[in-house]
Amino acid sequence: MHTGQLPSFSEIYETYKDKVFNTVISYLQNQEDAEEVTQDVFVEVHRSLQSFEGKSSVGTWIYKISINKSLDFIRSKNRKKRFAFITNLFDEKGDVKHEQTDFNHPGIKLENKENAALLFKTINELPENQRTAFILAKVEGLSYSEISQVMDLSNSAVESLLVRAKQNLQKKLSNYFSNERRV
């Protein structure tokens, strides 16, 4: 137990609120959902603070909680969507009705807004571990070693995940432009 060395909950909140919120919003791509999950993360941090064993740094621990809460939220949302699939997917004409709106991250430069919205949309199509590695590297700016601690992987595994994530994104974007040209 390292509770004696741990900062107080309010100090933890002040230090990590932006990191948590930015990680969560990159997964959920919706301001309200991100605020809800940020609350979930800090409630969990408060609840588990006394049992925190200090095997990893507080930052790594909080990143892990943020990622797990975000992925849980997405899975639960997808389950609900699947449940309402038949009623919501098609309108009366049989056209696809349900489509996610583009996400505009508030911190993106104005000239990059359109491109970033497309990149966020494409990130959503990546497998979970590639998505996590890409978000931690590109949005949070973490090093390979920090990502490896958060994801419990070796540095080389993280490097390989990032390479695959970039390749997948390029492939998906290329397909997107090819389909758009055909339309």
Partner 1 sequence: MEQEKKIEEIMNSFDGMRRAQPSPFIYSKILQRIEGYNKEYSNTRLVWLAAASFAILIILNFLVIKNTVADKKMSSIESQSQGYNLVNVNTVNYN
Residues that bind partner 1 (CB under 8 A): 13, 17-18, 21-22, 25, 34-35, 38-39, 42-43, 46-47, 105-109, 112, 115-116, 118-119, 122, 138-139, 166, 169-170, 173-174, 177
Q: How far is the CB of 69 from partner 1 (least distance, A)?
A: 13
Q: Residues with Cβ < 8 Å from 105, sequence gap 6 or more?
A: 25, 26, 116, 120
Q: How far is the CB of 10 from partner 1 (least distance, A)?
A: 8
The residue among 26 and 60 lying less far from partner 1, judged by its C-beta, is 26
The residue among 64 and 105 lying less far from partner 1, judged by its C-beta, is 105
CA atoms lying within 13 Å on the CB side of residue 20 = 28
The residue among 89 and 169 lying less far from partner 1, judged by its C-beta, is 169
The residue among 12 and 150 lying less far from partner 1, judged by its C-beta, is 12
The residue among 76 and 78 lying less far from partner 1, judged by its C-beta, is 76
Mark 122-150 as b/e (b = at least 16 C-beta within 10 Å): bbeebeeebbbbbbbbebbebebebbbbb
Q: How far is the CB of 106 from partner 1 (least distance, A)?
A: 5
What is the per-residue DSSP string for 63-122? HHHHHHHHHHHHHHHHHHHHHTHHHHHB-TTS-B---PPPP--TTS-GGGHHHHHHHHHH
Q: How far is the CB of 108 from partner 1 (least distance, A)?
A: 6
Q: How far is the CB of 33 from partner 1 (least distance, A)?
A: 12
How far is Cα 176 from Cα 16, in angstroms, rounded to an integer?
36
